[in-house]
Amino acid sequence: MADGTSKPGSQGKASLVTHGGRDPFSAHGFVNTPVYRGSTVLYPTLEKLKANDQKYSYGRNTNPTTDALCEAIRLLEGGAYTVLATSGLHAVTTAILAFVEAGDEILMTDSVYFPTRRFCEQVLRRMGVNTIYYDPLIGGGIADLITDKTRFVFTESPGSQTFEMQDIPAIVAAAKARDLWVLMDNTWATPIYFDALGHGVDVSIQAATKYIVGHADAMLGAITTNDRAAPLLKRASIALGNAAGSEETFLGLRGLRTLEVRLTRHQASGIEIAEWLKGRPEVSEVIHPALPGTPGHDIWKRDFTGASGLFSIVLKPVSQQALGAMLDDLKYFGMGFSWGGYESLIVPFECAKTRTATTWKREGPALRLHIGLEDVADLKADLAEGFERMNSVD
Ligand SMILES: *Cc1c(COP(=O)(O)O)cnc(C)c1O
């Protein structure tokens, strides 16, 4: 947890990720915050114990390692309060539980990360909280869905498979007019490329597993709020027994230090490969918010300061066998879930069945690509050879 009193000031984001949350001279001058492992924290006197008069009280709450990452992320988000969670999904569920009460309705984008939807259906519904799904492109039209029972609007922009760009300022304006909270899963852009709190969002959620950890070697989440939302999040996080592990937190700190420079490369390589894919005869659609002509590009340009390395393509119809011939023998692109690591990934996805407020229908198979830190020429050659294998089957 980090309760900020100092303002983030005018530092650039690369400087913030490099220096935020570090205090070398509290650790004998060593540059990195050590890994504090532990449950018990001793009190020197009965008086101190009775008054709970010291910074650390019990391992589940905070320790200097978790404090360091919370403070760095809080500064980067420009927030008042940051808490870690054991995974991105845990950050989502903790954030949601901080605000809802039995009898509430919540408004949820239809393009949301599927496990968030599953939590709403399998857990929230049993607690008497009803989730209403809305078209991610609804913008200010969200006002028509707000009722006296609505507690918050949950956003995720862009959607992590289909990349719908949400009009966050319009949604925030409609929500604020009815005194509602706005939550956002901001994993794709990270706080480096989208300033969620600066755009009026109350709660910014990071699946830190992705770009913050950045090396596919740990699960971690982070939630950052403004002043207004901080007490509710703090209460829920403590009550729920939230305790991100120190080793994972250290890996989060390690990853965070290079976040800006990694994202710069993910962005440049991602855009170059997306443009190249646009010219391939096998591809019917490239869905990348930073590409002019992609739906939502105008919103991306207006509100975001960059793009990460994740986007999708739709192929012209091909057989499963032909698709397998392409995907099975890729050299650099691995097939697997998650993203945000240094390596390139590719996975087919089907989202038509999980949607209820919108339809997503394409003729050919849809693939999501994460462009890693390899040489672009190697990645293009890998995909080109894959297309050739695909074409030789059909
Ligand atoms: C991966 C992901 C999550 C969940 O993160 P985990 O650390 O895997 O639990 C949440 N939201 C988005 C957009 C994601 O891509």
Tens digit of each residue's pLDDT (9 = 90 or more) over 140-160: 999 999 999 999 999 999 999
Using a 6 Å cutoff on CB, does residue 162 contact ligand 1? no
Please tell me the number of Cα atoms within 13 Å of 246 on its side-chain side.
14
Predicted confidence at residue 7, as pLDDT, reads 45
Q: Is the dihedral of CA 291, 292, 296, 301 positive or negative?
A: positive
Q: Mean pLDDT across the chain, nearest whole number? A: 96
Using a 6 Å cutoff on CB, does residue 113 contact ligand 1? yes
pLDDT digits (tens, 9 = 90+) for 122-131: 999 999 999 9
Inform me whether the pLDDT recorded for 8 exceeds 90: no
Percent of the chain with pLDDT over 90: 96
Inform me whether the pLDDT recorded for 11 exceeds 90: no
Mean pLDDT of all residues in 279-303: 98
Segments of the chain assigned to CATH 3.90.1150.10: 260-393
Binned at pLDDT 50, 70 and 90, residue 10 comes out as confident
Distance 370 CA to ligand 1 centre (A): 14
Mean pLDDT of all residues in 310-337: 97
Query: Which residues contact residue 30 at a Cβ distance below 8 angstroms, ignoring those fewer than 6 apart?
Result: 24
Tokens for 302? 């207006």
Element (H, E) at 203: strand 203-206
Tokens for 368? 């999501």
Predicted confidence at residue 352, as pLDDT, reads 87
Instruction: Establish whether 185 is a catalytic residue.
Output: yes
User: CATH topology for 9-257?
Assistant: Aspartate Aminotransferase; domain 2 (3.40.640)
Mutate to test the pocket of ligand 1, among 108, 183, 187, 205 (most ligand atoms within 8 A of CB): 187
Distance 89 CA to ligand 1 centre (A): 6
Inform me whether the pLDDT recorded for 333 exceeds 70: yes
Q: Amino acid identity of 111? A: S
The answer to whether residues 151 and 97 touch, using CB atoms and an 8 Å cutoff, is: no
Q: Which atom of ligand 1 is nearest to the CA of 187?
A: 13
Predicted confidence at residue 394, as pLDDT, reads 65
Element (H, E) at 30: none
Sheet with strand 150-156: strands edge to edge: 2-3, 81-85, 221-225, 203-206, 181-185, 150-156, 105-109, 130-134
Using a 6 Å cutoff on CB, does residue 88 contact ligand 1? yes
Q: Which atom of ligand 1 is nearest to the CA of 208?
A: 7
pLDDT digits (tens, 9 = 90+) for 150-186: 999 999 999 999 999 999 999 999 999 999 999 999 9
Using a 6 Å cutoff on CB, does residue 207 contact ligand 1? yes
User: CATH topology for 260-393?
Assistant: Aspartate Aminotransferase, domain 1 (3.90.1150)
Q: What is the DSSP string of 55-113?
A: S--BTTT--HHHHHHHHHHHHHHT-SEEEEESSHHHHHHHHHHHH--TT-EEEEETTS-
Using a 6 Å cutoff on CB, does residue 89 contact ligand 1? yes
Mean pLDDT of all residues in 279-302: 98
Residue 75 to residue 34: CA distance in whole angstroms: 20
Instruction: Establish whether 144 is a catalytic residue.
Output: no
Instruction: Establish whether 60 is a catalytic residue.
Output: yes
Predicted confidence at residue 5, as pLDDT, reads 41
- Residue 166 is given by DSSP the state P
Inform me whether the pLDDT recorded for 340 exceeds 60: yes
Mutate to test the pocket of ligand 1, among 90, 113, 213, 339 (most ligand atoms within 8 A of CB): 113
Choose the catalytic residue: 36, 81, 110, 113.
113
Instruction: Establish whether 210 is a catalytic residue.
Output: yes
Segments of the chain assigned to CATH 3.40.640.10: 9-257
Nearest CA owner, ligand 1 atom 5: 88
Query: Which residues contact residue 63 at a Cβ distance below 8 angstroms, ignoring those fewer than 6 apart?
Result: 36, 38, 56, 246
Mutate to test the pocket of ligand 1, among 89, 111, 112, 217 (most ligand atoms within 8 A of CB): 89
